[in-house]
Chains A and B, each alone.
Chain A
Amino acid sequence: MEFDVSSSPHIRSGDSTRRIMLDVLIALVPTLIAGTVIFGLRALAVAAVSVAAAVLGEWLWRLVTRQYNTVGDLSAAVTGLLLALTLPATVPYWAAAVGALFAVVVVKGCFGGLGQNIFNPALAARALLMLVIPAAMTRFAAPGTALPLTGAVDIASSATPLHHMVMPALPEVSLLDMFLGNTGGCIGEVSALALLIGGAYLVARDVIKLRIPVSYLGTVAVLTLLFPRGQDPLLWMAYSLLGGGVLLGALFMASDYATSPATPGGQVLYGVGCGALTVLFRYVGLYPEGVTYAVLLMNAASWLLERFTPTRLFGAPQRKGGLR
């Protein structure tokens, strides 16, 4: 009789990469539904194109580079969906497809695949599209606009809350509308409610810890409260948290495992950095929004933060700090 002789431990938890990615997809469902309700079926179609392109790109890349097939771990589908949620519903389909391919092949695949990439693939792809087709990336439909399902969208962009805030002025929409998502913006950023439901699911499933989202949002809250650009600091803070991609970024982008520090201390610093840069870019940047570049820059710093925050060794003679 032959027995397996692999190393201990001989039992494993029920966790798997696939299960984690599936949980992220499940957590994004409310946001996708909200986006579809607000911007119509075109939003759903953009998401479908982006996911399909990401999965196809992943499969082809692994095939061409002679690596085992990783479509089944669902990470490519997550990347595709996350990218779609950062796009306006008016974006040309080809742009969503190109962005998704860029994300999985260049930003992830070329860096060694899942877990090895330095930059968040979805955000890096969004940054690329902002660079290449800035006009299409900032053409926002007003909620409820009937967008054509096929062909190019030819509408005038409606102002998003962030367009007001960059002036700076408080947006015209109510906080309740911003909370529910009854406002212009990218597919996945408008409904705070849907994002929070998804975030709560991820925390409940222990897929993400609260450290990064809380330190990120907390930093944005504190900075906008201390340096308001409106009459009422509290109101300004509330609009700052609900407007733009901060919630999507804090819950689903900054918390990405591969591109954030693995140490608890590093995660807190990373969240603080994301929050500070987001506010800085919003206040002084060229674009009204700063989440994409804030998170991407912190991605690049995450290895450094990790080395500044080593875990405390059991029975260590004294606390070892500094660079390792």
Chain B
Amino acid sequence: MRSRFWGGVHPAGRKELSADVPPTPCPPPKQVIIPLQQHIGKPCTPLVKAGDMVKMGQRIGDGEGMCAPVHASVSGRVRTVEACRHPSGFTCPAVVIENDGQDAYASELAPIADPASLDADGLIGRIHGAGIVGMGGATFPTDIKASIGKVETLIANACECEPYITADDALICSDADRAIGGLLLLRQILNPARTVIAIEDNKKNAIAALADRLKTRPEIELAVLPTRYPQGAEKQLIQVLTGRQVPSGGLPRDVGCAVFNIATCASIRRAVAEGEPLLRRIVTVTGRGVKEPKNLIVPIGTPISDVVAAAGGLTDDVWKVIAGGPMMGKAQPDLTAPVTKGVNAVVALTRAENGEAAHHSCIRCGKCVTVCPMGLQPLYLYRFSGCGDREMLRRYNILDCIECGCCAYACPGKLPIVAAIRTGKRLVKEGK
């Protein structure tokens, strides 16, 4: 049952900058910065201290409860454990490791030749041990997401609806077997009646690669969807594929669904079959602000400066550097923050790409209402956030906003609607 999601926009994809460039390894960084929080939940406690020697794959941070362990992505000496800049904008304790270049590897997880022999608990334990989180950007711990018993529909999200980003595209083109392998393991855990890989129709090569391999796997459905942002947002994708709406304040499991990013699937396969924790990911380095846009295989913790250097460096007219995509990513004040598990792209924009910065008045054109995929009225969220009216913000359901940015993208007044909504959300949460 296919349907359409509400609203949405169709920005210029700009994926041609980095599409069809096979992912290449990023040159080994001199040091990596491994934040102890790379997931939604409680931060890890460091398991190492300054001066310790660590091996690649070694667990260096872990914790109780909703927590995903972090691992050393290179071997070498721990220089310090201190507060560092996180790509999401806050500061967070991080283990800084000087790379000795040896790549001496030691994983707690033994490779498993026959993953089909594992039961659900065994698989979930592995996923947790490997520190896997949602790699599409939300960084929800994958083991917790997978621990919900049985679902009706299991969805692998390869939409990659954000403009510019081609990381999942590159992953599928280069590593489709691993991605599908991971999805099969999730099937083993969740026992779904229906398994879907969702992808947008602008990724022809990836679609061909998937279709070729799925010929012998009738249990997996390939859904090629018309390109439209934010198709890859969890709630919108579920709506498109099942026609069901995740209840306000609820979770996908409330409508019998579980959604995993396609890169997360590949990492699951790597962890279970090869015993390798989440040590690296594909990052698209792109935008007209970098000289050689490309897809890089980057060790987690590599400073953004190294990643940018590997793409030929920044141009002189660069205006903004974003961790993540241009619709939802976080603008970086400098290049010191590291690539974390959820950073799928580093996008350097020129001023022309960034667009006009002036803020005019709201002319009540209603475009924000038309494009909102959540059925909100962003113009009023903007207004009531401006005057700090908690009660009205709550009545206009501010907490349902997914911050996809469609409203501000479409706004002819170029109003900073999303920024205002974030402020408003904080107000409402504080006021409870």
Contacts and interface: CB of A to CB of B under 8 A. Distances in A.
A196 B213 CA distance: 55
Contact of A19 (B369, B396, B412, B418): B412
A19 B367 CA distance: 14
B413 interface: yes
B85 interface: no
A158 interface: no
A115 B361 contact: yes
Interface stretch (B66-74, B220-228, B322-330): B322-330
A15 interface: yes
Most chain-B CB neighbours within 10 Å: which of A9, A264, A267, A311?
Answer: A9
B338 interface: no
A113 B363 CA distance: 10
A115 B9 contact: no
Contact of A258 (B354, B363, B373): B363
B412 A7 contact: no
A4 interface: yes
B367 to A, nearest CB: 7
A12 B363 contact: no
Interface stretch (B97-105, B169-177, B243-251, B266-274): B243-251
A11 B363 contact: no
B412 A262 contact: no
Contacts of A315: 235, 245-250, 400
Interface stretch (B35-43, B47-55, B257-265, B403-411): B403-411
Interface residues on B, range: 35 or more
B405 A113 contact: no
A312 B11 contact: no
Given A17-B413, A313-B375, A4 B245 contact: no
B355 A11 contact: yes
B363 A17 contact: yes
Interface in A305-324: 310-317, 324
B373 A314 contact: yes
B114 interface: no
Contacts of B217: none
A209 B329 CA distance: 32
Interface stretch (B25-33, B138-146, B201-209, B312-320): B312-320
Contacts of B191: none
Interface in A199-227: 209
B367 A10 contact: no
Contact of B412 (A17, A113, A267, A313): A17
Nearest to A5: B331
B408 A257 contact: no
A263 B370 CA distance: 9
B376 interface: yes
Contacts of B370: 264
Given A11-B11, A11-B349, A3 B377 contact: no
Interface in B159-210: 163
Nearest to B368: A262
Contacts of B374: 313-314
A174 interface: no
B329 A16 contact: no
Given A3-B321, A315-B247, A262 B330 contact: no
Most chain-A CB neighbours within 10 Å: which of B395, B397, B412?
Answer: B412
Interface in A261-286: 262-264, 267
25 contacts: A1-B334, A3-B318, A4-B357, A5-B333, A7-B408, A7-B419, A8-B322, A9-B326, A10-B322, A10-B326, A10-B331, A10-B347, A11-B326, A11-B354, A12-B354, A73-B360, A116-B361, A311-B369, A311-B372, A313-B374, A314-B245, A314-B248, A314-B373, A315-B235, A316-B375
7 A-B pairs with the lowest CB-CB distances in the bound complex, closest first: A9-B405, A7-B419, A12-B355, A262-B366, A15-B412, A115-B363, A315-B245
Interface of A: 1, 3-13, 15-17, 19-20, 73, 75, 113-116, 209, 257-258, 260, 262-264, 267, 310-317, 324
Interface of B: 6, 9, 11-12, 163, 235, 239, 245-250, 314, 318-322, 326-335, 347, 349, 353-357, 360-367, 369-370, 372-377, 379, 395-397, 400, 403, 405, 408-414, 416, 418-419, 422
